[in-house]
Structure 1
Amino acid sequence: MLRAEAAVPVRMRRVAVVAPEQALRASLVRIAEVGCVEIDLAGDSGPDVRGPAATRLQRLRAEPTRPVLSEAPPDLDALEREGRTDLLAGEAQLEERLGSAVRHGEVAALAGWCPETEVGSTAARIAGVGGALVPLRGPRGVDPPTLLTGAGTVPAGHAARTVRRSFTPLVTTYGTVPYADLDPTLPAGIVYVVMFGLMFGDAGHGLLLVAIALLLRAGRPRRLAALHPLWPFVAGAGLAATLAGAAYGEFFGPTGVLPVLWLEPLQEPMRLLTSAVGLGAVLLAVAYAAGIVNRWREGGPTAALYATTGIAGAALYLGLAVIAGYVWLGQVVYVVVGAAIAAVGLTLAGVGLYATTAGGAGGAVQTGVQLFDALVRIGSNVVSFARLAAFGLTHAALGAIAWDGTTALAGRGPAGVVAAAFVFLLGNAVAFSLEALVAGVQALRLEFYELFSRLFVGEGRPFKPWHLPVRHLTGPAPDTEPPADGEAVRHAPAREEQS
């Protein structure tokens, strides 16, 4: 079972960084080095108010560099002469936070947010330089920033966290999950690779994707090193495509290498279409269930009851699904029961929608339009999952064309064998590249418009911890032998280390 904390964003704690004035810089340096505290900045200082480091950085007018923070207060004039824009940029960020501190006598404080699990270790770290990290009560009416579980600090070798991290871009590309909502990262990733696999169903092509994932895991090619964290996502998509290809009997097309375990897409398109729509109906039901939970967590039972993405919308969807059961079962009772459930859903949704209008006749008209839109959207969203079958058929058709051309040329002597090999390779290359792109885009579209639109009605604020690498200065190694009388002690230059 999934742990409860894995189903929601990382729990945040309101904190204050408190330190004597003389220890505030050292405390902030350690906060930056740890990189797990988001510090509130004063927003009314104005663009023309710059500290000494920011002023020198502006004078240099150099290309932006990655900021680095010095452990000890640096000589700003020397940094400017040497063109050390990295250290000046780090000092400029530090100045901004020092300027945002609230001071009372000799004590200064900064407020911010920190993951609950990191409060203790961070407090211990800054205590060594005289600072303190004090937990506070969260301000009313202010939601904490959101950090998805997979986006946090990942222990080395932690497989579950690695997989979640690879799925995180699916969610963050859509938007920032509200802090009160469920974290959909893992289920969203699983649903995506399943839908991709159904559209990209070929065991040979799926195994190629798995091979690409293994190359990414090994850091090859180097130019794609930035994609290394996504290797579990690519591997999952490849595995899903391989399993779907085995079910379809497809291995670089209908080559006959694999037996058909379920159906042949080109021979049974209606069965594939029905299965795709049925899967979509199930996924929409799950999305409504998650939407009810999110509305409850956001605004309590009232918000969950009347929202079109809550109980009201779910009842409308269930009623229409029961009515649709009449098509297969042919019993009128399904129409009656379904209509009653749908009427309850429409009534609840209408009350909720009307409450958001200005009232009167105009509000009634607006509510009617929105209810009609909700009905149409449910039908169109269910039918939209037919694209899982449509693009699965397209992939199978491309594979069949390539294989038919290959077999037609293979029996025409040595030249025909060479031509057949060329057609086979070229056809599969076209099918792989084209369908990988199309299936990837279409799975993303279904996830965003049909599913996420029911999970989220608002957007949160992403957690942005202050994190900079810190330059440490280490002193000279002690002399192994004492200097002779009258001989000056030679000091080796300090070595620069960066964490």
Structure 2
Amino acid sequence: MAVVKIKILNVIGRMSELDEVTTMLGKSGIFHPDNALAFYSDTSEFIPLNDENPYTDALHTLEDTLKTIDRHVDLLSVRMVDKIAPSVKNWRSYVKSFSSSVDDLIKKRNEIDRQISEDIREIEKVRHFSGLDLNLDDLRDCKFIRIRFGSLPVESYEKLSSYENNPYVVFFPGSRDEERYWGMYCAPIDRIAEVDRIFSGLYFERTRLHELTGTMKTALSQLTAKRDDEANQKAEINRQIDALWNKEKQMVQNVYSWLSEEYVYYNIRRYAARYGDNFILTGWIPADRENQIQAQMNELETVKCTFDRAEEPEVLMHSPPVELNNKKLFRPFEYFVEIYGLPSYDEIDPTILVAITYFFLFGIMFADLGQGICVAAAGYIMWKKMKMKLGRILIPCGISSSFFGVLFGSFFGFEHFLDPLYHSLFGLSEKPISVMEPETTNMIILFSVALGISLVLIAILINIYSSLRRKNYTNALFGPNGVAGLIFYASIVFGFGGQILLGIKIVTLPYVLCLIVLPLISMFFREILGGLAEARPNWKPEKWSDFLMQNFFEVFEFLLSFLTNTMSFIRVGAFVLVHAGMMMVVFMLAEMFSGIGFAVVVLVGNIFVIALEGLLVGIQALRLEFYEMFSRFFDGEGRPFLPVVVRQET
């Protein structure tokens, strides 16, 4: 069993020492807190501790400030934090002072950014009119005419010729782009309203040039100089931010590290409860760390603690958290188990079974030496470079594919590439297994069915063992995945299968009655038989009619599941044939070309097959694990063991 043994820790003490307890447990990195009130039947005198964390505001303020100036600090080690703790006594005032200094500089910089943005917009506007040789001061002094700057769509500019009889509808362009003409028009004061209406109908968009003086070129130069000056001011503020950071970086790191620890440790309090001047705190720790925690708690004057094994029935009912700890060889496959769901604390961990069966299923269905090497290499890159858990699984899967590729004689689809190897090692003229030959095809399908039968039987045996450990006798003895189901399934398979293959009459009337009918009846009445075996007082059904109807359909479903689960493994052999067939298609296409064309088609075809079939085989093998095997013995309703950790690894 690869589930780490844990114990439940119960801590009782005076409220005055609660902070020291939470700090000790938090620093240990092995304490998984749980709701203390859930472990007591009478909680009328207990008060949950829902105090607001005093470190929240300061920590969040500091984090926001660092994010604002795009800075990051690493958390110091526990030992370093203990050393610098006295220097951060005034943490509130320091955070407030540092954040205020940064905020002042950021506000100034934001204001300058706003001004620069406005200048850029003004520059863009004025640049459109730089072709007009006008003096804005002179235009503003005009008393009898009004001038409008703006732009017209190209289509509207071309329509101006239709207003040639109106001497006031004249547009003076200064520049143009693909969509619009930029320029001005003017009219006497008493005619400007009429001209405005005409240009409005031509979709004229007005541009207001406020506070600009001199010529267009002069105004453009002034705006450019203003923008450059503001950019220099922004650079100076950035230098001030850098100087402030260089001065305060170490202190910020000290305060941030200390606040992060205190924030996390204080949060442990919300799992505790208070009665009078005392507190209770409950959580889970690894069983092999009991002495360490006991020694730390003994240093406190009023604190007492007890440890109970998670296997005890009264503790087990609280669903102890689970941490998997398999051997390094099998550990990557914990990822698949976690996807389905962690095992309960008293449940069998299926990681080793998944590792072995998935390794072989993937390799058989994707048997190719060259492509297997590519899969393993891709998995290594995904694991080392991209930190993907799936990559660690693809490495052994690629190795398995390579192994079965040698057995089937396939190397990047070249079915006879390894013939010299067989000749030199075994004296064979060619590979021993030719997948596409009819006799071999039949053997592969039969092997797939036999493999499915074996794995289903293994899953049932695991369920029997697991259920007996959990004292679930109904499931272990009388369920479809218990002893009754095992006898029924094995009798069907070996009775009829052996009779067909060996030609010997195995299925006789006593055989049917004892090994098929009797187990079937046991499965039908499993709840009643299980209730009697477990000495449950309510073993009788409330309504026999409902009981009979419900169990009839359930037993029918069980029978159907035996058939479908077994036949589902035919996909293993099918994918062996599909892989060979896809590579045959690739080479048929490649033979239409010669030279480099042949090589390119083979290369592209291999890439396509590796990507497509690798994905399909991976999914189908996982489906066999989850639906055909896990469903027979695994519930996956456990919760993860999540100890309080400040410096969580990513």
- Residue in 2 aligned with 1:447? 625
1:348 partnered with 2:522: yes
1:331 partnered with 2:504: yes
Between the aligned partners of 1:271 and 1:452, the Cα distance in structure 2 is 27
1:434 partnered with 2:434: no
Between the aligned partners of 1:255 and 1:269, the Cα distance in structure 2 is 15
Between the aligned partners of 2:296 and 2:515, the Cα distance in structure 1 is 58
- Residue in 2 aligned with 1:146? 322
Higher deviation after alignment, 387-396 or 442-451: 387-396
Distance apart, 1:304 and its partner CA:
1.4
Between the aligned partners of 1:359 and 1:262, the Cα distance in structure 2 is 62
- Residue in 2 aligned with 1:52? 54
- Residue in 2 aligned with 1:95? 266
1:287 partnered with 2:459: yes
1:37 partnered with 2:31: yes
**Alpha carbons of 1:47 and 1:20: their partners in 2 closer, same or farther (altered >3 Å)?**
closer
| Count of residue pairs the alignment pairs up | 442
Distance apart, 1:178 and its partner CA:
1.6
Identity, % of aligned pairs?
25
**Alpha carbons of 1:170 and 1:431: their partners in 2 closer, same or farther (altered >3 Å)?**
same
**Alpha carbons of 1:66 and 1:105: their partners in 2 closer, same or farther (altered >3 Å)?**
farther
Between the aligned partners of 1:257 and 1:311, the Cα distance in structure 2 is 49
SS in 2 for 1:323: helix
Higher deviation after alignment, 432-441 or 177-186: 177-186
Q: Which one of 261, 265, 283 corresponds to residue 112 of structure 1?
A: 283
Q: TM-score, normalised by structure 2?
A: 0.61
Structure 2: state its 5+ residue gaps: 39-46, 100-254, 420-429, 529-538
Distance apart, 1:293 and its partner CA:
0.9
1:263 partnered with 2:263: no
Between the aligned partners of 1:66 and 1:291, the Cα distance in structure 2 is 50
C-alpha contact (below 8 Å) 1:122/1:133 kept by paired residues: no
Q: Which one of 183, 188, 191 corresponds to residue 357 of structure 2?
A: 191
RMSD: 3.5
Distance apart, 1:439 and its partner CA:
0.4
C-alpha contact (below 8 Å) 1:126/1:133 kept by paired residues: yes
SS in 2 for 1:162: coil
Task: Kindly provide the CA deviation profile for residues 116-167 of structure 1, in whole angstroms up to 9, marking residues without a partner as x.
Answer: 12223344466667777642365353342222223xxxxxxxxxx3223211
Residue identity matched to 1:239: I
- Residue in 2 aligned with 1:482? none
1:363 partnered with 2:547: yes
Pairs within 5 Å for 1:49-448: 50-54=52-56, 72=85, 77-78=92-93, 81=96, 91-102=262-273, 108-124=279-295, 134-136=306-308, 139-140=314-315, 141-150=317-326, 161-215=327-381, 219=384, 221=385, 224=386, 226-227=387-388, 232-259=392-419, 261-267=431-437, 268-325=440-497, 326-334=499-507, 336=509, 337=511, 340-353=514-527, 358-409=542-593, 416-448=594-626
Residue identity matched to 2:446: T
Between the aligned partners of 2:410 and 2:556, the Cα distance in structure 1 is 43
Residue identity matched to 1:273: I
C-alpha contact (below 8 Å) 2:487/2:515 kept by paired residues: yes
Distance apart, 1:315 and its partner CA:
2.0
**Alpha carbons of 1:456 and 1:319: their partners in 2 closer, same or farther (altered >3 Å)?**
same
Distance apart, 1:51 and its partner CA:
2.9
C-alpha contact (below 8 Å) 2:8/2:285 kept by paired residues: yes
Distance apart, 1:344 and its partner CA:
2.3
SS in 2 for 1:149: coil
SS in 1 for 2:328: helix
C-alpha contact (below 8 Å) 2:484/2:522 kept by paired residues: yes
Task: Kindly provide the CA deviation profile for residues 202-248 of structure 1, in whole angstroms up to 9, marking residues without a partner as x.
Answer: 1111111222344456x3x3xx0x22x65552221011111111121
SS in 1 for 2:55: helix
Distance apart, 1:369 and its partner CA:
0.2
Residue identity matched to 2:482: G
**Alpha carbons of 1:55 and 1:66: their partners in 2 closer, same or farther (altered >3 Å)?**
same
Between the aligned partners of 1:126 and 1:66, the Cα distance in structure 2 is 33
**Alpha carbons of 1:448 and 1:417: their partners in 2 closer, same or farther (altered >3 Å)?**
same
C-alpha contact (below 8 Å) 2:365/2:575 kept by paired residues: yes
Q: TM-score, normalised by structure 1?
A: 0.78
Distance apart, 1:384 and its partner CA:
0.1
Between the aligned partners of 1:120 and 1:353, the Cα distance in structure 2 is 44
Between the aligned partners of 1:252 and 1:124, the Cα distance in structure 2 is 61
Distance apart, 1:320 and its partner CA:
1.8
Higher deviation after alignment, 177-186 or 54-63: 54-63
Between the aligned partners of 2:11 and 2:432, the Cα distance in structure 1 is 61
SS in 2 for 1:333: coil
Between the aligned partners of 2:95 and 2:480, the Cα distance in structure 1 is 59
C-alpha contact (below 8 Å) 1:293/1:304 kept by paired residues: yes
Higher deviation after alignment, 101-110 or 328-337: 101-110
